[in-house]
Chains A and B, each alone.
Chain A
Amino acid sequence: MLKGRHLLDPMDFSLEEIEEILNLGEKISKNPEKFSKACQGKILATLFYEPSTRTRFSFEAAMLRLGGQVIGFSEPNSSSVAKGESIADTIRTIACYADIAVIRHPKEGAPRVAAMYSKIPVINAGDGGHQHPTQTLTDLLTIKSLKGRLSNLTIGLCGDLKFGRTVHSLIKAMSRYKDNKFILISPKELRVPDYIKREVLQKNNIEFLEVERIEDVIEKLDILYMTRVQRERFFNEEEYLRLKDSYILDNSKLKNAKEDMIILHPLPRVNEIAVEVDEDKRAKYFEQAKYGMFVRMALIIKLLGVEEC
């Protein structure tokens, strides 16, 4: 039962519950108009303690497409937070006005604090470098819709695998499905942290490979998930210059990729995917953003427990 629950961590929901959300997300993606009155009379509050246009728009568009309405703030200076109000007091007040709340906060664990004091469902829309569960749901719905399955896939993750929370969550989430393999493509300095390898991959006997260059493995991949490699993450300039081009995806690197491979990226992209790739039919990152909205629509419906149309 998802009604009334919070979503704080991507692992909060069981496989069956995620399945329920993804199935509804798929239904919505095929016929969004059918759901245009699902949340009529309901209000979503967006509490954005740090700016994030993309995520906020995605949530707001999701609620508006469900026929609901939206209140909120997009940066704390324009709210009572600037006067020093605690998260507990803010959420208790908002819960008097809204039916469901989305919170983004620079501090790790802030959405959990909100949930502790909230009478309405709270959705974590990103808390610092910690969790971003609706991005994980977005990735899952995109993969399920475009590949037709969440199991038996070879998933290449490329870029900053050390600090990228999106990547860590995706590894955890995809590790719950059968026969998935991971190819982890990154410079040595930005490899997946040991605890993920130990606690998630090795513990569950999941096959994985660590490499430094996309070209060496691209023909094996069903999914290529790109993330940004930031200059400041490197220990020295020499290393950065040596490796930076390896992490920019362009048409020449795609030469040996499977015809039905899909390229994903959590966005915003800076330069890690060359613009020429946008024309490739395998480039699915903008479609992914659309699935993000559909899965948020499904999540709102489920947490509110409103009638599915």
Chain B
Amino acid sequence: MLTVNSIKNGIVIDHIKAGLGIKIFKILELDKINSAVCLLMNVQSKKLGKKDIIKIENVVDIDFTILGILDPNITINVIKDEVIVEKKKLKLPERVENILRCKNPRCVTSIEKYIDQVFYLVDSKKGEYRCMYCDEIYALSEV
């Protein structure tokens, strides 16, 4: 079995749905930071069966709000001296750019491909977002 050492200081993004880790890695642009980063894929999990994990050493100031959209079950642990000092709860971001795509064929985004896909949070309980251009409302599971 593959083993990776625990980190002393930094962040562990845990309980990522298997297969989503690489997407999160790209969205957070972890390839551009200078610290040690580790992406573990298909790790055994009691809760999920399989899961992905990302460990980032010595960095704590990353904006994770976007992750709430991708997978609300993700947990973010802030590690200090090998101890979890904070568990960050994910909230749905108010505004999302270029993560969700509008499916309305009448929406201008269907023809003007260069514009940003922008959505605003309408209902955080229901996880509903509104397209900035056509006002169509979607549940997260739809987009």
Contact = CB atoms under 8 A, between A and B. Distances in A.
A172 interface: no
Interface of B: 104, 106-112, 114-115, 131-136
A110 B106 contact: no
A110 B134 CA distance: 9
A161 to B, nearest CB: 18
Given A112-B133, A113-B133, A130-B134, A107 B114 contact: no
Size range of the chain A interface in the assembly: 10 to 19
A106 B110 CA distance: 12
Contacts of B115: 88, 113, 116
Q: Please provide the 5 A-B residue pairs with the shortest distance between their CB atoms, ordered closest to farther.
A: A109-B133, A108-B134, A109-B108, A107-B108, A110-B108
A113 B110 CA distance: 12
Given A88-B114, A130-B134, A113 B108 contact: yes
Interface of A: 86-88, 105-110, 112-113, 116, 127-130
22 contacts: A86-B112, A86-B114, A87-B108, A87-B112, A88-B112, A88-B114, A105-B108, A106-B106, A107-B112, A108-B106, A108-B108, A108-B133, A108-B135, A108-B136, A109-B107, A109-B109, A109-B135, A112-B108, A112-B132, A113-B108, A130-B134, A130-B135
A87 B136 CA distance: 21
A128 B111 CA distance: 14
Given A108-B134, A130-B135, 16 more contacts: A86-B112, A87-B112, A88-B115, A105-B108, A107-B106, A107-B112, A108-B106, A109-B108, A109-B109, A109-B134, A109-B135, A110-B133, A112-B108, A112-B132, A112-B133, A128-B134
B106 A129 contact: yes
A129 B104 CA distance: 12
A105 B114 CA distance: 18
Nearest to A111: B108
A109 B110 CA distance: 11
Contacts of A105: 108
A18 B78 CA distance: 51
A86 B136 CA distance: 23
A88 B107 CA distance: 16
A273 to B, nearest CB: 29
